[in-house]
Structure 1
Amino acid sequence: MKVQSLFTKALWLTLVGIAVMVVTIFRLSPSLAYSTTTPSAQPSVAKETTAYYAAGTSLYKRLGGYNAIAAVIDDALKYILIDPQIGKYFIGLSK
Structure 2
Amino acid sequence: MIWDEPQQRQKFSKQDKEIILDYQRYKCMYCGVSLKRNSAAQVHFDHKRSLVKGGKDTRSNLQALCSKCNQRKSKTSDVDFRKNIKN
TM-score, length-normalised on structure 2? 0.23
Query: Higher Cα Rg: structure 1 or 2?
Result: 1
Question: In proportion to residue count, which structure has more strand?
Answer: 2
Question: In proportion to residue count, which structure has more helix?
Answer: 1
